[in-house]
Structure 1
Amino acid sequence: MIGDQSDNWIIIGVSGVTCGGKTTLANQLKNMLAPVYVFHQDKYFYPDDSPHHVKCGGLDHNNYDILSALDMESMYNDIVTTIDGEDRSHGSFRGRREGRMEIEEKSFIIVEGFTVLNYAPINEICDLRYYFVLEYEECMFRRSHRLYDPPDIEGYFEQCVWPEHLKYKAEIERDARITILDGTQHDALSIVVRDLEHLGATYI
């Protein structure tokens, strides 16, 4: 449970479709804000041989595109311990530096991953929430040019990646607090900066 230190933080959730621009935005914010911690959801996948994994229907391949493939409780707990000051070793950190944006007496946390906002405990602690979307063809094209470990097998995108995305996207669309970002546009950072300025962020 988050303690009294939560008022000292601005938490930004960046989520959405595979290859949509989540990591790019998270890294841009990491280089812009101060002080800032970044948590990447990809670091919380269960090991490939974990009993938590289930197979993608009709394929001999783990379904990595569902929440149960990730140890979300551990991710949430790592964020909370960082907020409470008990342990700040889990997220990557950038300190104060001239030219960065800050809000007086506050620090930033960026939480990035394809379903982080579908995990209610994390969604609820975010102050700002963003979700990237792409059309099917653009998403498939981008995914085909990325290398994954383990690599995608034939049919995985069509049978797992895209259907699971549509399911989680439908959940997101019911939450009016979340800003939807078009992954083919180049205005995501400016949208977030505008929102941060409304919260009082200024350049050092």
Structure 2
Amino acid sequence: MIGDQSDNWIIIGVSGVTCGGKTTLANQLKNTLTPVYVFHQDKYFHPDDSPRHVKCAGLEHNNYDILSALDMESMYNDIVTTIDGEDRSHGSFRERREGRLEIDDKSFIIVEGFTVLNYAPINEICDLRYYFVLEYEECLLRRSYRLYDPPDVEGYFDQCVWPEHLKYKAEIERDARVTILDGTQQDSLSIVVRDLQNLGANYI
């Protein structure tokens, strides 16, 4: 449970479709805000041989595109311990720097990953929430240029990646607190900066 230190933080959730621009935005924010911690969901996948994984239907391949493929409880706990000041080693930290955006004496946490906003405990602690979307063809094209470990097997995108995205996207669309971002546009950072300035952020 989050303690009294929660008022000292602004938490930004960045989620959405694979290859949609989540990590790019998170890295841009890391270089724009101060001080800032970044938590990447990809660091919380269960090991490939974990019994927690389930196979994608019809394929001899783990379904990595569902929440149960990740240790979300550990991710949440790492964020909470950072907020409470007990342990800040699990996130990527960028200390206070001039020329960056800050809000009074608050620190920022960026939580990035394809389903972070579909995990209710993390969603509920976010102050700002963003979700990237792409059309099927653009998403498939972008993913074809990515290398994964383990690599995608034939049929994985259509059997798992895209259907799971549509399911999680439908959940997010019911949450009016989430801002939907078009992954083909270039103004995502400016949208978040505008929202932060509305919260009182200024450049130092």
How many residues align? The count is 204
Aligned twin of 2:152 = 152
CA shift digits 1:67-114 (9 cap, x unpaired): 000000000000000000011101000011111000111000000000
Q: Distance in 2 between matches of 1:53 and 1:184?
A: 32
What's the TM-score once normalised by structure 1's chain length? 1.00
CA shift digits 1:100-150 (9 cap, x unpaired): 000111000000000000000000000000000000000000000000000
Aligned twin of 2:42 = 42
Aligned twin of 1:25 = 25
SS of 2:58's partner is coil
Q: Cα RMSD over matched residues? A: 0.3
Q: Distance in 1 between matches of 2:160 and 2:95?
A: 39
Residue 201 of structure 1 deviates from its aligned partner by 0.5
Aligned twin of 1:60 = 60
Aligned twin of 1:79 = 79
Aligned twin of 1:93 = 93
SS of 1:139's partner is helix
Give 4+ residue runs of structure 1 displaced > 2 Å after superposition.
none
Q: Distance in 1 between matches of 2:9 and 2:96?
A: 15
Q: Does 1:136 align with 2:136?
A: yes
Q: Distance in 2 between matches of 1:34 and 1:16?
A: 24
CA shift digits 1:31-70 (9 cap, x unpaired): 0100000000000000000010000000000000000000
Q: Does 1:113 align with 2:113?
A: yes
Structure 2: which 5+ runs fail to align? none
Q: Distance in 2 between matches of 1:121 and 1:51?
A: 24
Q: Distance in 2 between matches of 1:70 and 1:137?
A: 27
The amino acid across from 1:82 in the alignment is T
Structure 1: which 5+ runs fail to align? none
Q: Distance in 1 between matches of 2:79 and 2:157?
A: 30
Q: Distance in 1 between matches of 2:4 and 2:71?
A: 25
What's the TM-score once normalised by structure 2's chain length? 1.00
Q: Distance in 2 between matches of 1:187 and 1:33?
A: 17
